[in-house]
Structure 1
């Protein structure tokens, strides 16, 4: 990924009016990441919408019984299939912490040979939802059942991935560029795998 100084770092929207909800959103970013993410400037126009989406994601992940590793596989696979650099870098790093740099980079590249059959079924399901949800087949669902998920968990996992795709779509459509910190915090193999989407911001995001 190369730095492109012609694009605004925080996207196409004007700055959101200040207020307690905006400050809370930014404070949450600072507490979790140490800086305010570029994409949060778009969500600052409706902080309650991001909070509601985050709550639904947590509930769907809990209902599906997803481990942190499984969430990493699902998000990395869906984000890379969609071409979203934000979540690919963020969750690629998290997946690398859980499963190793090689596995994380492979999932981002769409290479599943090194994955266990259960993880492979999750990655393929996530990519299918991102690319062509109408192209799912009974075989896809049977693979998820073979991975140990019951039908209620499959539904909840599908909701989780669909919500992640929605989040990525908003971020990408509104022009937010990946934070420099997202790039520098990711392992080299993850950075090399993320060759798509908007190029990183020209300067680090402020705290």
Structure 2
């Protein structure tokens, strides 16, 4: 995998980052499907094709290919209220963290997330953004094998970032 090539130079950093990510998942009480929504929305908003394909595929397994493709395109029709709030929040955190408002946080509370979970899921998005930024800055392109194993709807929805590698 291309990301393995990047992180092989600093495996302890990779392991530490992913240990911290696991802590945020536990603290936020995120389901696998909710993680998929957050990462797919984050990766798409960031323009990171690698994570968008990888997590779009995971979300497709949990929610269906059309739902996953929709999240990657910024369309949340197939999501429940809590998942829509998560997708909107991820896009806000990536797009303009200084532009978030009390109303944005209120949407998360209305969807059932308390303040502790909101901090944890925000940290999760920020850490995923850091991971994507390292991969993107150091040229990690999505692996062909990854893209070939995904539903076509997911692959077609990713029209940003680095092209699939050879």
Report the TM-score, using the length of structure 2 for normalisation: 0.98
| Structure 1 spans left out of the alignment, 5+ residues | 1-36, 203-207
The size of the alignment, in residue pairs, is: 166
1:176, CA displacement in angstroms? 1.2
Structure 2 partner of 1:152: 116
Structure 1 partner of 2:76: 112
| Structure 2 spans left out of the alignment, 5+ residues | none
- Whether the aligned pair in 1 keeps the contact of 2:85 and 2:111 (CA below 8 Å) is yes
1:114, CA displacement in angstroms? 2.9
Residues 158-177 of structure 1 correspond to what in structure 2 (within 5 A)? Answer: 158-177=122-141
Structure 1 partner of 2:161: 197
Name segments (4+ residues, structure 1) moved above 2 Å.
none
Please give the per-residue CA displacement for 1:153-190, whole angstroms capped at 9, x wherever unaligned: 00000000100000000000101111001111111000
User: Of the candidates 135, 160, 170, which is equivalent to residue 99 of structure 2?
Assistant: 135
1:46, CA displacement in angstroms? 0.6
1:112, CA displacement in angstroms? 1.5
Deviates more, 1:175-184 or 1:45-54: 175-184
Larger Rg belongs to: 1
Structure 2 partner of 1:6: none
Report the TM-score, using the length of structure 1 for normalisation: 0.79
Residues 1-207 of structure 1 correspond to what in structure 2 (within 5 A)? Answer: 37-202=1-166
Structure-1 separation of matches of 2:28 and 2:118:
7
1:113, CA displacement in angstroms? 2.7
Deviates more, 1:115-124 or 1:153-162: 115-124
Structure-2 separation of matches of 1:112 and 1:94:
16
Structure-1 separation of matches of 2:137 and 2:153:
26
What RMSD in Å do the two structures reach over aligned CA positions?
A: 0.7
Structure-2 separation of matches of 1:105 and 1:61:
23
Q: Give 1 or 2: higher helix fraction.
A: 2
